[in-house]
Structure 1
């Protein structure tokens, strides 16, 4: 849907919103008292949970989630910034981890948030409103002021009843655009490699765990903190920019890199000499103890969120869902997992798949329909699988979607032979 004025809405409780679409909240007070935006567009009413807007638009990774819950912390992430015409400059502070700042999508997103007064004010309103709630011991009501954005387009998954829609998942949005075409970003992680004389030697040693261990007294030679945390790629929320800004790294320091390919592999504890004592550290090389911290990433920046060519397929499913007496229909979008070139379309945009559940009430059959977006001209048929009386459906669905990536864009017949299935070929516009 397209919302003419995003900030023009009413705030109601989740109980009132869910009653309108017969969605049950299990009589839990912490659920019923959550706050929901009620937005009216062209005679239709949409219910947007505030916490879902916050999750999709602002909680894109761990550092942004922590930042929104602290007073004025967003300013601690930036050492210096300016906007000169179509060129933006950001000097990120050491608070931003190396692996996060190297993600160009995050830089585009952060520049959009930080340099847009409307979006930044909405982000900062989360803590302002939360601080007021904490005084009343009302911690679970996380609120936000919607940004004053015109003609915001959003794609969502939800529940429909008559002309009322409950938004369950915010999938993507095209809100306020950016005025800059280039972003210069500076951070300690960006070091210019300078070729140095001498050959670089690689040594691989197989150490045996024996002998006495002695603490290394030289602090400079002790283990260092690993700032590159493991990042988990979770289901993404897409953010559309019509013109993706180019990201340019600004190097703040230089790093000598020796050239060479000499390789040593020796048995023992280094140099082929068996030592009775090993000099060791008590420090942990990984920040946070023996368990490495895990970051998460839910953000995907793209220049198109409007279906990737699935519009006709969606219209067909919507027509099918209108016959509510015969069919029960549910639909969801899934981004293909990483692992092969087929996971992406042009401009490194994640390929999307539509998974549709159809229950034929007349014959008591359950089917799943898989349609993969192919805006790049790839040839792939629509898959229909009979899941009637099958168990572990989610596991099988996940396996089918993963196999199409590993099979480089074709349905894996060996896996599908466990079910009754059909493949429907596309015939141009006559699908």
Structure 2
């Protein structure tokens, strides 16, 4: 993957050769971490930039680059079988300068291989996929001061009752833009709701405060933490291997699969800066995050200013998959009118090309940015079936009264396309599309129904002739392109594309039945919708 963000004072194609200790000079407020970079005299970056930093990763790429090393997949054994070690003990890392050889590792056996996993790299993959958690990890009880967890909160949302409400307190430094990412919402809930995971996160500060070495000029610490129980978690990584492939050293974790998530169904998130937008009649494009110009520079030294809403920037993603995927949504305390689909319209959509990854402080002189390096792989679209309640009731009437046969529906979460927010509901839960095949009088039809129950947009049901589609392939082969065009086309069906795909007369759009209440139909309205649908067939 080619990184689009640049580190201001690093050369092109700067490869990280080694990672060292955390340290801070006495006259500074923020922490640095030792790094050694090929073709550069620089020996440190900010700890808040950790989402980007792993051994052999290439920064400031001018061409797409795969980090040196070999791919490896393995399953973690019970933590009780892990041993403490250092980089030096492995013998596979040749770089000797700085503090590289003394960095802490976990060592364990997996599938007849001895694996050395740097503790900092495991913590990065688990927690530090964004700079907010990197900054919070070095503050005593930061999460307790910034979040309050409310179990079984009162809720007037019958379709989406909450089991847990996570409140970001007014004291929080957590940028609200992170909550737009469902993966971050899972990660935050995982840390706050699983006591073993939360203790692991807090162990970073415990070890930091107990082992910190102080001198007159600076403070330093060799990273160490207590991992949560990870037995059975599958890891995909890259690293070095011995000639007989029996010993491995992990440079970077690329994916974690089967992390244990608490058995909770519905989670809400409140941030004091959330502002709900009331739907308007205009289509808009769904709005944008506060973003930077295409050419972005991360200042390795500057602190963040408090004068801007955090911009969202991206680094190479770590894929995370949990064994349980609850529904999540944002919860609002107030609403304001909107136009054209943009949230917080008074906020600028572009900022200075130079940014800091640190939290804001009195010394900050450039805009702060929020790094997002997490790709959630949860397959939980089935959890949102109830959003299509009126649509499925209409199909039931067609089945019972008009001899229409229907298949089991498939529900997909719409993908993120560019900077549009159309793939998200106004509560920031995923917007989904239901796909159903029906048969009537010997003819088959494929129905595409997009969830518009939030009233943010209006789009008719797409009806496609199965007979016309059959000669060229299966619908699933064309769905990604249909979704891309749908979300890139101001949230409307791509008519010309369907004309080319199946022919102008072989697809139709059936408008939704008007309702007295946005997104919900009563029984008589559903019946009228079924009759109109039958006439189209």
TM interval, short-chain normalised: 0.5 to 0.7
Instruction: Give the aligned partner of residue 400 of structure 1.
Output: none
Give, in whole Å, the separation in 1 of the partners of 2:313 and 2:276. Answer: 28
Shift of 1:165: 1.1
Contact 2:76 2:232 in 1 (8 A): yes
Instruction: Give the aligned partner of residue 164 of structure 1.
Output: 247
Give, in whole Å, the separation in 1 of the partners of 2:123 and 2:364. Answer: 31
TM-score (norm 1): 0.53
Q: 1:179 to 1:140 in 2, by over 3 A?
A: same
2:316 maps to 1:249: no
Instruction: Give the aligned partner of residue 59 of structure 1.
Output: 128
C-alpha distance after superposition, 1:19-57 (max 9, x if no partner): 1xx32023x241111111001124321100011111111
The correspondence of residues 354-393 of structure 1 with structure 2, limited to 5 A, is none
Instruction: Give the aligned partner of residue 88 of structure 2.
Output: 15
2:226 maps to 1:145: yes
- Which runs of 5 or more residues in structure 2 are unaligned? 1-73, 154-160, 281-304, 341-360, 380-415, 424-429, 432-475, 479-537
Q: 1:147 to 1:79 in 2, by over 3 A?
A: closer
Q: 1:164 to 1:104 in 2, by over 3 A?
A: same
C-alpha distance after superposition, 1:201-238 (max 9, x if no partner): xxxxxxxxxxxxxxxxxxxxxxx965521221100111
Give, in whole Å, the separation in 2 of the partners of 1:193 and 1:170. Answer: 38
Give, in whole Å, the separation in 2 of the partners of 1:243 and 1:115. Answer: 13
2:172 maps to 1:91: no
Contact 2:87 2:93 in 1 (8 A): no
Shift of 1:249: 2.1
Q: 1:194 to 1:300 in 2, by over 3 A?
A: closer
Q: 1:188 to 1:151 in 2, by over 3 A?
A: same
The correspondence of residues 408-427 of structure 1 with structure 2, limited to 5 A, is none
Instruction: Give the aligned partner of residue 112 of structure 1.
Output: 190
Contact 2:178 2:370 in 1 (8 A): no
C-alpha distance after superposition, 1:300-336 (max 9, x if no partner): 11137xxxxxxxxxxxxxxxxxxxxxxxxxxxxxxxx
Give, in whole Å, the separation in 1 of the partners of 2:222 and 2:121. Answer: 12
Contact 1:194 1:255 in 2 (8 A): yes
TM-score (norm 2): 0.43
When the two chains are superposed, the root-mean-square deviation of aligned CA atoms in Å is 3.5
Give, in whole Å, the separation in 1 of the partners of 2:205 and 2:256. Answer: 23
Instruction: Give the aligned partner of residue 378 of structure 2.
Output: 303
Instruction: Give the aligned partner of residue 24 of structure 1.
Output: 94
Contact 1:40 1:46 in 2 (8 A): yes
Give, in whole Å, the separation in 1 of the partners of 2:279 and 2:129. Answer: 37
- Which runs of 5 or more residues in structure 1 are unaligned? 197-223, 260-285, 305-336, 349-375, 379-431
Shift of 1:150: 2.5
Give, in whole Å, the separation in 2 of the partners of 1:340 and 1:104. Answer: 15
Give, in whole Å, the separation in 2 of the partners of 1:136 and 1:9. Answer: 30
Contact 2:312 2:369 in 1 (8 A): yes
Give, in whole Å, the separation in 2 of the partners of 1:88 and 1:236. Answer: 27
Give, in whole Å, the separation in 1 of the partners of 2:98 and 2:362. Answer: 38
Shift of 1:153: 1.3
Shift of 1:136: 6.0
Shift of 1:99: 1.2
The correspondence of residues 250-289 of structure 1 with structure 2, limited to 5 A, is 250-256=331-337
Contact 1:86 1:182 in 2 (8 A): yes
Contact 2:238 2:253 in 1 (8 A): yes
Q: 1:258 to 1:47 in 2, by over 3 A?
A: closer
Higher strand share: 1
SS in 2 for 1:244: coil
Contact 1:97 1:227 in 2 (8 A): no
2:126 maps to 1:48: no
Q: 1:183 to 1:287 in 2, by over 3 A?
A: farther
Instruction: Give the aligned partner of residue 187 of structure 1.
Output: 271
Q: 1:25 to 1:140 in 2, by over 3 A?
A: farther
Contact 1:231 1:296 in 2 (8 A): yes
C-alpha distance after superposition, 1:219-266 (max 9, x if no partner): xxxxx965521221100111102443221222212335589xxxxxxx
Moved more, 5-14 or 86-95: 86-95
Q: 1:339 to 1:255 in 2, by over 3 A?
A: closer
Contact 2:267 2:328 in 1 (8 A): yes
Instruction: Give the aligned partner of residue 349 of structure 2.
Output: none
Aligned partner of 1:238 among 319, 329, 348: 319
Q: 1:116 to 1:13 in 2, by over 3 A?
A: same
